[in-house]
Amino acid sequence: MKNSLLSTLFLLLATHMSCAQENHPPLIETPTEVDYTYETIVDGIDIPWGLAFIAENDFLVTEKTGTLYRVIDGNKTAVNGLPELYVRGQGGLLDVALHPNFKENNTLYFTLGMHLEGEEEGGNTALYCAQINGTELSEVKMLYKAVPNTKKGQHWGSRIAFDQEGHLYFSVGDRGNRDENPQDITRDGGKIYRLNLDGSIPNDNPFVGNDAAKTAVFSYGHRNPQGMTVQPKTGQVWVNEHGPMGGDEINRIVGGKNFGWPVITYGINYSGTPITDITAKEGMEQPFYYWVPSIGPSGMTFSTSGVYKDWQDNLFVGSLKFEYLERLVIKRDKVVKREKVLDKIGRVRNVIEGPDGFLYVAVEGKGILKIVPKA
Amino acid sequence: MKYGFLLYVIIVEFLVMRFYQQKTLEQSMADGAEIYADFCVQCHLQTGAGVSGVFPPLNQSDYLFEDLDRSIRGVKYGLKGNIVVNDETYAGIMASQGLDDEEIADVMNYILNSWDNSSEIQISPERVANIVK
């Protein structure tokens, strides 16, 4: 009797655990026929990370180990004048983005791993701005640096995006310290930050007035956000973030909100042990969508242009793990379809929509690819 | 007299430890396990099995043991281009993780002596320091 009770309990537990890791619908589809192909715009960039267009056929690419390239008509030149960065683990030169008035001020922003002179060992994510002239940076200025430094290799973030009201957003991951950083608004890490374009902190940021808080923080409870884009119709910031095993998420960012990591998650440790037994809690936001199994999401953009048949308003996310670009169809606030684009192309680190309306994809070992409809 | 010899050994041992800072294999492996969990496990996995065709295995890997200096070089400076591991070709990129020489020695010792692997050679930080691109 006791034995059967135990085995029932065990069975229940096993069922519960397998439930937590069951594939989350809609299941990914592989189209049998495709009406697009791709062109390689530039190659010879090992780990292309950030991507920002200055004009058609003129864009910037960061290479993780510390080179910023300007690519004009497919020819790349290294840009001079970057600050000395700190490369360790997942950290290095990360995202790059243009000031909304770039045409007038030639200003760009970038995030990178940084160790400042006189600081404790290790590094953390920093946001910089600079002016670019040809392939020279000037007026290089640090706008924010997360503290404290750590020698941990994980979770630096980082992506940069802008809303339509003169704010800059950027992300910093939990820096391998999930127990202390993400849930504590007095600490850096595991946060989405919001700044004015000059680097100052907006007066209406959610934690302004709280003396202990990091007032640049806009939302918290994040793990490692490496995709960020603004929904073109609503102006809301959307983020994707790496979860533990089976807990990658898309989140729609609202100021002051707690996105739950590591108190709630749909994922488990990579060793197979649980992190928490709850996936929801009052006062914590549910993800807009979560991936089981994890796809390793990086980069995110909406296709707005209509240059591709049936892709308008779809969301595109790079998959590092399964080496494809994912297309998500959203209807009535729900993901209703997921499809592989460029299956087995390589680790997809980033995707953005160029000024010509085409999607440009950064693939490790391959460079920057442009998706073109077949004639 | 007997104790004098013992004392001599202890003092010499102490001085050697003090000045050469040579870790025991056990200590190096323990430190290496932490590095592994921080920098390597995402791709090469807890079991060292890797992912067939994407991330090469470290457990029972012919490539790893064939030329230890080459393996150290890969960790120190990164690795790209085709490599053949246990008859399978890998074409990915492993970026340099920014580890210092001691950390590389530790993680190598952990990898060389974990799962089904074992090695009679302990990698020292000096050996890592001498490896050039």
pLDDT in tens, B101-124: 999 999 999 999 999 999 999 999
Q: Is residue A17 part of a domain?
A: no
Which of the pair, A240 or A272, is modelled with greater confidence?
Answer: A240
Residues 19-78 of B with CB under 8 A from A: 38-39, 41-42, 45-46, 54, 78
* B66: closest CA of chain A, how far (Å): 25
CB contact under 8 A, B38 and A86: no
Question: What mean pLDDT comes out for the span B37-65?
Answer: 93
DSSP B37: I
CB contact under 8 A, A88 and B92: no
- At position A282, the amino acid (one-letter code) is E
CB contact under 8 A, B38 and A365: no
| Burial of B84 from C-beta contacts in 10 A (0-12 / 13-18 / 19+) | exposed
Q: What is the pLDDT of residue A98?
A: 98
Q: What is the pLDDT of residue B54?
A: 87
pLDDT digit string, tens, across residues A66-97: 999 999 999 999 999 999 999 999 999 999 99
Q: Using CB atoms, which residue from A65, A92, A153 is nearest to B38?
A: A153
- Expressed as residue numbers, the domain containing A90 is 34-373
CB contact under 8 A, A89 and B97: yes
Known catalytic residues of A are: 155
Out of A123-137, A282-296, B35-49, least confident range: B35-49
Q: Is residue A316 part of a domain?
A: yes
| Beta-carbon contacts below 8 Å between A and B | 42
Q: Is residue A286 part of a domain?
A: yes
Number of domains in chain A: 1
Q: Is residue A42 part of a domain?
A: yes
The answer on pLDDT for B6 being more than 90 is no
pLDDT band at A192 (very low <50, low <70, confident <90, very high): very high
Return the exposure string of A38-65: e unless at least 16 CB atoms fall within 10 Å of the residue's CB, then b: beebbeebbbbbbbbbbeeeebbbbbbb
* B16: closest CA of chain A, how far (Å): 27
Question: What mean pLDDT comes out for the span A298-323?
Answer: 96
Q: What is the pLDDT of residue B42?
A: 85
Going by C-beta distance under 8 Å and a sequence separation of 6 or more, which residues neighbour residue B112? B64, B65, B68, B118, B119, B121, B123
Bridge partners of B56? none
Question: What mean pLDDT comes out for the span A323-330?
Answer: 97
Q: Is residue A86 part of a domain?
A: yes
Question: What mean pLDDT comes out for the span A252-277?
Answer: 94
- CB-based contact A251:A169 (threshold 8 Å): no
Q: ipTM of this predicted complex?
A: 0.75
Q: Indicate if the alpha-carbon torsion angle B123, B125, B129, B130 is positive or negative.
A: negative
* A284: closest CA of chain B, how far (Å): 27
Tell me the chain A residues in contact with residue B96 when contact means C-beta distances shorter than 8 Å: 65, 87
Q: Is residue A21 part of a domain?
A: no
Out of A119-133, A169-183, B36-50, B62-76, least confident range: B36-50
Task: Delineate the domains of chain B, giving CATH numbers in brackets.
Answer: 24-118 (1.10.760.10)
- Of A305, A306, A320, give the one whose Cα is nearest residue A350: A320
DSSP A166: S
Bridge partners of A168? A162, A195
CATH number of the domain where residue A191 is located: 2.120.10.30
pLDDT band at A11 (very low <50, low <70, confident <90, very high): very low
Q: What percent of chain A has pLDDT over 90?
A: 91
The answer on pLDDT for B1 being more than 90 is no
Task: Report residue A209 CA to chain centroid gap.
Answer: 29
Q: What percent of chain B has pLDDT over 70?
A: 90
Mean pLDDT, chain A, integer: 94
CA distances from A18 to A23, A329, B110 (A): 10, 27, 32
Q: Is residue A28 part of a domain?
A: no
